[in-house]
Amino acid sequence: MRKCLYFYFAAVLAVAVTSCTAPRSVIHSGKVTPKGQFKAGFNMGGNIATEPLSQLDDITEAAVDAIANDEEVEYSQQIDVASRALVAYALDPVGTTFDFYLRYGVAERLDVGYKYATGVHVFDAMYQFMGPTGTPENPGVGDWYGSVGLQYSGQSSGIFDKLYLDKLIPVLEFSATRRDIVIPLVFSKSFGPEEEIGNISFGPVYNHTFIKYGFDPSKIVKDAAGEKVPLEGVFAKKNFPSFGLFVNGKIGFKYVYILPSLTMYYQDYGTYEFLEGKQSDFSGITIIPSIGLQANFGSGRGGRTR
| Confidence band, pLDDT 50/70/90 cuts, at residue 3 | very low
- Range with the poorest average pLDDT among 38-47, 80-89, 197-206: 80-89
Residue 67 has phi, psi (to 5 degrees) of -70, -45
Instruction: State mean pLDDT over 242-262.
Output: 95
Instruction: State mean pLDDT over 2-22.
Output: 43
Whether 233 has a pLDDT exceeding 80, the answer reads yes
Q: What angle do CA 229, 231, 232 make, to 5 degrees?
A: 125
pLDDT of residue 117: 84
Higher pLDDT, 35 or 72: 35
pLDDT of residue 173: 85
Whether 242 has a pLDDT exceeding 90, the answer reads yes
d(CA 93, CA 87): 10
Residues contacting 237, CB < 8 A, separation 6+: 210, 211, 212
Mean pLDDT of the chain: 84
| Confidence band, pLDDT 50/70/90 cuts, at residue 235 | very high
pLDDT of residue 227: 80
Render 13-37 in DSSP notation, one character per residue.
HHHTSB-----------SSPPPBT-
pTM: 0.84
Residue 88, CA atoms < 13 Å, CB-side half-sphere:
29
Residues contacting 25, CB < 8 A, separation 6+: 43, 45, 97, 246, 261, 263, 288, 289, 290
pLDDT of residue 241: 96
Question: Which residue blocks in the chain are alpha helix, DSSP H?
Answer: 2-15, 50-56, 61-68, 77-91, 169-172
| Confidence band, pLDDT 50/70/90 cuts, at residue 230 | confident
Q: What is the pLDDT of residues 259-306, one digit of tens each?
A: 999 999 999 999 999 998 999 999 999 999 999 999 998 765 555 555
Whether 196 has a pLDDT exceeding 60, the answer reads yes
Whether 171 has a pLDDT exceeding 70, the answer reads yes
Whether 220 has a pLDDT exceeding 90, the answer reads no
- Three-state secondary structure readout of 236-276: EEEEEEEEEEEEEEEEEECCEEEEEEEEEEEEEEEEEECHH
Tell me yes or no: is domain 2-297 CATH 2.40.128.
yes
Whether 13 has a pLDDT exceeding 50, the answer reads no
- In the chain, what are the domain boundaries? 2-297
Instruction: State mean pLDDT over 85-100.
Output: 87
- Range with the poorest average pLDDT among 102-106, 117-121, 229-233: 117-121
- Range with the poorest average pLDDT among 2-16, 82-96, 241-255: 2-16
Question: Which residue blocks in 162-306 are alpha helix, DSSP H?
Answer: 169-172
